[in-house]
Amino acid sequence: MTMPFSRLGAKKRAEGLAADRLPPGQYIPRGWPVLHYGPVPKFDESSWDFRVFGATDGGERRWDWAGFGELPRTEIRADFHCVTKFSLLDNTWTGVATGVLLELAPPASGVTSVMVWAEYGYSANMALADFGGDLSMLVTHRDGALLTPEHGFPLRLVVPHLYAWKGPKWVRGVEYLTADRRGFWEQRGYHNLADPWREQRYSYQESPGDGPVG
Ligand SMILES: Nc1nc2c(c(=O)[nH]1)N[C@H]1C(S)=C(S)[C@@H](COP(=O)(O)O)O[C@H]1N2
Ligand SMILES: [Mo]
């Protein structure tokens, strides 16, 4: 991960914020940085689907683009914290609350965690409770504007209370897990839990029980 922007002015942009508004170590960048591994995928509406699979209660569910567009939509206002230390405050996100999916495609009773899957095999794991958190949402718009391709068009997850790598861009599905498993960055040295307020950045900071072994 690189940081293709300047820290100049970051301090000025943080002036006037309540002291506890930014998680430890975070700063406010200019604009909205783009950060991801690999290329930006092309959206093909005719083959796009969103799948909920794994340990479901009652079977898998799959939506095509038109069907997904019929799901009830809501709006939230939330901050966004990247592990590379930039934070975007007061974003308005529009999309489908993860709670809607959990209702329409309920997990089996033994499900503890989920793996969220995106194009090219990117994945992020999190506790079921984090995925279903009040602010967790599959979003199509930020501040009223459609996501651009580099920010995740047509759909990305945001989980505002965790570091942003837990929110895959170009998201395509959710796998329900009965045992936690590490996702893409979690296998590459990032913390399994990723709470920005506890600065859970790297896997070497994990306590026993924070993550699956291996
Ligand atoms: N598919 C995919 N989603 C991803 C990533 C990625 O590499 N691939 N990087 C994550 C990381 S580390 C961050 S900080 C945010 C950045 O989102 P942005 O580029 O819209 O700022 O996307 C997250 N989602
Ligand atoms: Mo990140």
Rounded Cα–Cα distance for residues 95 and 209 (Å):
33
DSSP state of 170: S
Which amino acid residue places its CA nearest to atom 14 of ligand 1? 82
Question: Is 139 domain-assigned?
Answer: yes
The chain-wide mean pLDDT, for the chain, equals: 94
Q: Is the pLDDT of residue 3 over 90?
A: no
Question: Is 100 domain-assigned?
Answer: yes
Q: What is the pLDDT of residues 146-158, one digit of tens each?
A: 999 999 999 999 9
Question: Is 105 domain-assigned?
Answer: yes
Residue 24 CA to ligand 2 centre (angstroms): 15
115 lines ligand 1 (CB under 6 A): no
Let me know: does 114 contact 125? Beta carbons within 8 Å: yes
Residue 109 belongs to domain with CATH number? 3.90.420.10
Question: Is 39 domain-assigned?
Answer: no
Question: Is 40 domain-assigned?
Answer: no
Q: Determine if the pTM surpasses 0.85.
A: yes
Q: To which residue do tokens 């309540």 refer?
A: 18
| Domain that includes residue 153, residue range | 47-205
Question: Is 25 domain-assigned?
Answer: no
Let me know: does 36 contact 85? Beta carbons within 8 Å: no
Question: Is 180 domain-assigned?
Answer: yes
DSSP string, 111-160: --EEEEEEGGG-EEEEEHHHHT-TT-EEEEEETTEEPPGGGTTT-EEE-T
Residue 8 CA to ligand 1 centre (angstroms): 23
The amino acid at 24: P
| Alpha carbon of residue 81 to chain centroid | 10
Q: What is the pLDDT of residues 89-101, one digit of tens each?
A: 999 999 999 999 9
Let me know: does 142 contact 98? Beta carbons within 8 Å: no
Q: Into how many domains does the chain fold?
A: 1
Q: Which sign does the torsion angle of CA 112, 118, 124, 129 carry?
A: negative
Residue 163 CA to ligand 2 centre (angstroms): 7
Question: Is 59 domain-assigned?
Answer: yes
Q: What is the pLDDT of residues 26-51, one digit of tens each?
A: 999 999 999 999 999 999 999 999 99
